[in-house]
Amino acid sequence: MLIEAALLVCLLTILGAFLRQKKRLAHARYGSELITLGLLILVFGRFIDLLFVGDVSIFDIGFSNISSMKVWALIDYIPGLVIVAVGILRFLPAIEQLDNEIIARKNSERRQREQNSILKLATERAEMAENMLVDAIESMPEAVAIFNADDNLFICNYPYRERFKNIQDKIKPGIPFEKLIDLTLKGGGVPDATGREEEWKKQRLLEHRNPAAPIEQEFQDGRIYRLSETKTKSGGTVSIRTDITDILDRERALEENRAKLEEAQAIAHIGNWTHNRKNDTHEWSDEVFRILGYQPGEIEHSYKNFITRVHPNDVERLKSVFNLAWERQEAFEVEFRVVGNKGKITYVRLLGRLNLDEEGRMVGASGTLQDITAQHLFERELTQAKLEAEEGIRSKSLFLANMSHELRTPLNAVIGFSEVLAKEIFGPIENPKYREYADNIQSSGRHLLSLIDDILDYSRLEAGSMELKETEFNLLDLAQSTRTMLAAKAMEKSARISVSKELGLRIKADERKLKQVLINLVNNAIKFSPERGLIEINIATESAQYVSIYITDSGFGISKDEIENVMRPFGRAQHSVDKSIEGTGLGLPLAKSIVELHGGELKIAGNKDKPGTTIEIRLPKSRFPDFIRRDNVIPLLNGTDGTLKISS
């Protein structure tokens, strides 16, 4: 009986479950109803069994024997089981469909999760892209604004808001572009729109909605911006304003400098050119065009148009200069002729240098082209003038030589006859005045003869016709001979001439001309020395290149300003003019020229610690055989005994 009761409870539980899930099993309603019906029949049969059938039934009505129980089993179980079996058969496709639906739902849920993940990733990327766009726009120095297809502000950066600072609080996403224009005009931010606001607004709207080339806008603070606007694929507009005030200032400065350069080139008649070897292009300044006989921009910058203007006789020479510079990779300079319009000849100078890249390869050349016609004509005139001057010098020298000859003959006669009279060779002269006059005539004649000799010597030096007759002699003998010759003149002023014994060196020079130099210099020293003055002739050999001969006096001295004057022909010191000291002004220039003819120098300076003047004669040491032999002496050591030997 317990088993029957337990079985009944199980069937009731299953039946109750099916009844509770009836709505959810609507898609398998027919199978579900059959199973429910079968279960009802089985539950009813089990309930009858529990009450009336079998030995353990509650009520015994005679269904306790085996045969009756078999009959009841067929009646009780078979219909219910058959109906449940049919219901299950009808329920299986529904279960399969349900399983497919579950699988489909799971797939749908998986796809949904994937789509949600993709959507989330896309959302994150979109947010990142938007943030990057905002950061990029904010980091740009230009004033940037983006308007959507409805022409409402979508986004803008700080420079844009700062540019329209007076309406900055109104610049927010969503504001229409036209309203921005109205606010800008109301604030007076566009000087160009003053007095024609409506016209400017219409023009600005047209430019904004149909963007083309960039436009320039000047704002109230004087800054100038270049506005570039472009349409997006969605119909929006990207607006970018770039401050070009500094660029325009530099462009104006560059243009001014270019104009100044062109003006300077036009004044100096010099132009510049460049050649790019890579693309075989040339660039000329306007002055190059003019020098070549073209109008600026008249023809193409090219080698062909350049070489066609070169004089036919100069073309090959010019090409050879180019080729040589190209081979040696060095700068070049060449002068040639240019044949312009109507055969006009222009002399030009071309300077150039090669341009190398970082690896030392030639990439082109650059340089200048200068019109030197005026310089060429001036040089030609200068050459002609030089030739004429040289001819004049030769004529002067010839005239002086002839005149000196013509003057010497009667002058020698005057000197000779005055000497005869002064010495009373043909008898005494009773009146002593005649002897005095004869002495004056003789002195003046000798002075005039000396002047003629100086003029003749200087003219020969000036004409370059004086030659040195060099011999070897002792410098001390020359100095002592000079002292002897001028002793009488020195005695007139009680002056003393001192000659250093260190002058005892041999020298190879023109003895007569060097003596003439010493006579002139010592004579000047005597003339400009006071009574009882001292004239010293010394020598210095410390220098490695030259030997210095010094003539020092204790006279009035000479200032630095007068040195240049006294070294010029016929130039005299102011003291000699004031004191009426005789002289022609040729002594020092003549001495200087003779010393320079020997390869030396003549220098004048005032004495540092005492009155007077020092004249230095510098002669090359190569003229002193003693120094040459001394320099050629070679010390040798004997390798065995270590003694020192001298050999020449």
pLDDT in tens, 221-256: 888 899 999 999 889 999 999 999 999 899 899 888
Q: What is the mean pLDDT of residues 472-476?
A: 93
CA distances (Å), origin 412, targets 420, 427, 444: 12, 22, 12
Q: Are residues 284 and 216 in the same domain?
A: no
Query: In this structure, what CATH number is given to the domain that contains residue 218?
Result: 3.30.450.20
Domain end call among 183, 208, 243: 243
Q: What is the mean pLDDT of residues 458-471?
A: 74
Which pLDDT value is given to residue 76?
66
DSSP labels, 298-340: SS---HHHHHTTB-HHHHHHHHHHHHHHHHHT--EEEEEEEE-
Which pLDDT value is given to residue 633?
46
Which pLDDT value is given to residue 351?
93
Is the predicted pLDDT of residue 639 greater than 50, yes or no? no
Rounded to 10 degrees, the C-alpha dihedral 57/60/62/66 comes to 20
Question: In percent, how much of the chain has pLDDT > 70?
Answer: 78
Which pLDDT value is given to residue 131?
85
Which pLDDT value is given to residue 640?
40
Lowest mean pLDDT among 202-211, 399-408, 438-447, 482-491: 399-408
Is the predicted pLDDT of residue 582 greater than 80, yes or no? no
Q: Is residue 468 part of a domain?
A: no
Q: Are residues 283 and 361 in the same domain?
A: yes
Which pLDDT value is given to residue 405?
65
User: Ranked by mean pLDDT, which of 139-143, 563-567, 624-628 comes out on top?
Assistant: 139-143
Q: Are residues 29 and 59 in the same domain?
A: yes
* pTM to 2 decimal places: 0.42
SS3 state at 509: strand
Which pLDDT value is given to residue 642?
37
When divided into structural domains, the chain yields a total of 5
What is the pLDDT confidence band of residue 634, given thresholds at 50, 70 and 90? very low
* Rounded-to-integer distance, Cα 510 and Cα 571, Å: 26
DSSP labels, 11-71: HHHHHHHHHHTTTTTGGGHHHHHHHHHHHHHHHHHHHHHHHHBSTT-SS-SSBTSHHHHHH
Q: Are residues 356 and 275 in the same domain?
A: yes
Contacts of 459 by beta carbon, 8 Å cutoff, 6+ apart:
393, 396, 397, 400, 401
Helices (H), 56-172: 66-139, 158-163
For the segment 131-183, what is each residue's pLDDT rounded down to a tens digit? 888 888 888 889 999 999 999 999 899 888 888 888 888 889 999 999 998 98
Is the predicted pLDDT of residue 109 greater than 70, yes or no? yes
Which pLDDT value is given to residue 400?
66
Q: Is residue 133 part of a domain?
A: no
Is the predicted pLDDT of residue 320 greater than 60, yes or no? yes
Is the predicted pLDDT of residue 594 greater than 60, yes or no? yes
Which pLDDT value is given to residue 575?
52
Q: Which residue has the higher pLDDT, 341 or 566?
A: 341
Which pLDDT value is given to residue 65?
59
Domain end call among 213, 243, 273: 243
Which pLDDT value is given to residue 644?
34
Q: Are residues 92 and 12 in the same domain?
A: yes
Q: Measure the CA angle with vertex 517, ends 511 and 522; round to 5°.
A: 120
What is the pLDDT confidence band of residue 62, given thresholds at 50, 70 and 90? low
Is the predicted pLDDT of residue 16 greater than 80, yes or no? no
Which pLDDT value is given to residue 63?
54
Q: Is residue 605 part of a domain?
A: yes
Which pLDDT value is given to residue 474?
93
Question: In percent, how much of the chain has pLDDT > 90?
Answer: 23
CB neighbours (10 Å) of residue 180? Answer: 21
Q: Is residue 459 part of a domain?
A: no
Q: Are residues 487 and 626 in the same domain?
A: yes
Domain interval for residue 526: 483-630
DSSP 360: S
Q: Are residues 350 and 392 in the same domain?
A: no
Which pLDDT value is given to residue 462?
65
For the segment 517-555, what is each residue's pLDDT rounded down to a tens digit? 898 889 888 888 888 889 999 999 998 899 999 999 887
* Rounded-to-integer distance, Cα 11 and Cα 31, Å: 17
Q: Are residues 193 and 272 in the same domain?
A: no
**What is the per-residue burial (b if ≥16 Cβ within 10 Å, else e) of 485-499?**
ebeeebeeeebbbeb
Q: Is residue 547 part of a domain?
A: yes
Q: Are residues 216 and 294 in the same domain?
A: no
State the maximum Cα–Cα separation within the chain, in Å, rounded to a whole number. Answer: 228
User: Ranked by mean pLDDT, which of 9-18, 324-333, 406-415 comes out on top?
Assistant: 324-333
Which pLDDT value is given to residue 635?
42
For the segment 275-318, what is each residue's pLDDT rounded down to a tens digit? 998 888 999 999 999 999 999 888 999 999 999 999 999 999 99
Q: Are residues 95 and 27 in the same domain?
A: yes
627: which 2 tokens? 């120094």
Query: In this structure, what CATH number is given to the domain that contains residue 540?
Result: 3.30.565.10
- Are residues 373 and 347 in contact, defined by beta-carbon separation less than 8 angstroms? yes
Lowest mean pLDDT among 338-352, 372-386, 466-480, 632-646: 632-646
Residue-averaged pLDDT of the chain: 80
* Rounded-to-integer distance, Cα 640 and Cα 303, Å: 78
Which pLDDT value is given to residue 580?
44
Which pLDDT value is given to residue 637?
37
Q: Measure the CA angle with vertex 599, ends 596 and 601; round to 5°.
A: 50
Beta-strand pair 332-339/613-620 = unpaired
User: Ranked by mean pLDDT, which of 52-56, 116-120, 437-441 comes out on top?
Assistant: 116-120
Which pLDDT value is given to residue 336?
93
Is the predicted pLDDT of residue 347 greater than 80, yes or no? yes
**Amino acid of residue 41:** I
Q: What is the mean pLDDT of residues 617-636?
A: 72
Q: Are residues 278 and 364 in the same domain?
A: yes
Beta-strand pair 613-620/237-243 = unpaired
Which pLDDT value is given to residue 282?
92
Q: Is residue 560 part of a domain?
A: yes
Contacts of 549 by beta carbon, 8 Å cutoff, 6+ apart:
475, 503, 537, 538, 539, 616, 617, 619
End-to-end CA distance of the chain: 162
CA distances (Å), origin 603, targets 26, 310, 588, 596, 621: 139, 52, 10, 11, 17
CA distances (Å), origin 272, targets 300, 329, 346, 371: 16, 20, 17, 12
**Amino acid of residue 450:** S
Is the predicted pLDDT of residue 339 greater than 50, yes or no? yes
* Rounded-to-integer distance, Cα 345 and Cα 292, Å: 10
SS3 state at 164: coil
What is the pLDDT confidence band of residue 61, given thresholds at 50, 70 and 90? low
Q: Are residues 256 and 231 in the same domain?
A: no
Q: Is residue 642 part of a domain?
A: no
* Rounded-to-integer distance, Cα 602 and Cα 149, Å: 97
Q: Is residue 635 part of a domain?
A: no
* Rounded-to-integer distance, Cα 215 and Cα 203, Å: 12
* Rounded-to-integer distance, Cα 183 and Cα 179, Å: 6
Q: What is the mean pLDDT of residues 380-407?
A: 76
Domain end call among 371, 402, 436: 371
Is the predicted pLDDT of residue 22 greater than 60, yes or no? yes
Which pLDDT value is given to residue 212?
87
